Amino acid sequence: MSPQHTLSSSIAIIGVGTMGRAIASGLVHAGVVTASQLALADRDISVARDLATQLTGARWAHDAATAGEGADIVLLCVKPNDVAQALAELHLLSAHVLVVSIAAGMTLSTLEQLTGGLRPVVRAMPNTPCLIGQGHTVLSAGRHATAEHLQEVEQIFRALGTCQVLAEKHLDAVTALSASGPAFVYVMIEALAAGGLACGLSREVSTFMAARTALGAAAMVLETGSHPAELRDQVSSPGGCTIAGLLALEDGGFRSVVSRAVEVTTRAAAGLGAR
């Protein structure tokens, strides 16, 4: 099947660590852009150069300013405390260039301030399953970003999974639930697998089964549209074994521990942009 190049914009990706690399590769593999539409920059030149070689045809640059030359969209994929420095390097960008930041906790008002106050800016909060096209990304637009800008950014992140637009006030909670969330789910998968191991299943079988179970249960929620509690009740028959396990989870405060983890992470995410 020939790829469909749906975006004509050239995109500079500043920072090609975990997320920048996932976005660059995902965009090319989904056929949303050709590699030649991408310019990559990282503090570690070899990282940008190797990814450009791997993607065949992408440009790589020694610094953010060079990568940003001629770009229509600049995707900032650096840590929150590196954003100001990267934007300082990009100060010569022409006024129409759209800046997209995926940095946790960096508010639109800070980003707008750092880019001169009039630039179109969009905040995006993706997650690591973007690496395999199964991510989820939430977008919030700044004061000078138009509906067309937002549409372009949606196209970028839809190539990596699902995407939705929410008011910026929700982005710290989104960071906790959706961006940090995979880490919480991995702990659950690890714990399920440890239980299987304790009951005599091999490590390999336990881990596969725990991951497969998480995947299946998540698909049930998404595909049936049923409330998780309803689906849980379908598994737990009166006097059965599942209710015994569910009561053990309640004894350990599982539900409130997980919910509190999201609450604490939301507060931590809000603090990231202030450092």
Ligand X SMILES: NC(=O)c1ccc[n+]([C@@H]2O[C@H](COP(=O)([O-])OP(=O)(O)OC[C@H]3O[C@@H](n4cnc5c(N)ncnc54)[C@H](OP(=O)(O)O)[C@@H]3O)[C@@H](O)[C@H]2O)c1
Binding site for ligand X (CB under 6 A): 14-15, 17-20, 41-44, 64, 77-80, 82, 85-86, 89, 102-104, 125-128, 179
Cα–Cα distance between 120 and 153 in angstroms, integer?
12
Query: In the complex, what is the shortest distance from the CB of residue 42 to ligand X, in angstroms, rounded to a whole number?
Result: 4
Which CB, 102 or 173, lies closer to ligand X? 102
26 vs 126, which CB is nearer to ligand X? Answer: 126
Position closest to ligand X via CB: 17
DSSP 8-state secondary structure symbol assigned to residue 214: H
In whole angstroms, the minimum distance from the beta carbon of 138 to ligand X comes to 10
Among the listed residues 22, 24, 12, the one whose alpha carbon sits nearest the alpha carbon of residue 182: 22
The answer to whether 100 and 124 have CB atoms below 8 angstroms apart is yes
Instruction: Output 32 or 86, the one with its CB closest to ligand X.
Output: 86
Of 43 and 232, which has the nearer Cβ to ligand X? Answer: 43
Q: How far is the CB of 136 from ligand X (least distance, A)?
A: 10
Q: What share of residues in the chain are helix, strand, coil (percent, to 5)?
A: 55, 15, 30
Contacts of residue 105, Cβ cutoff 8 Å, sequence gap at least 6: 80, 172, 175, 269, 270, 271, 272, 273, 274
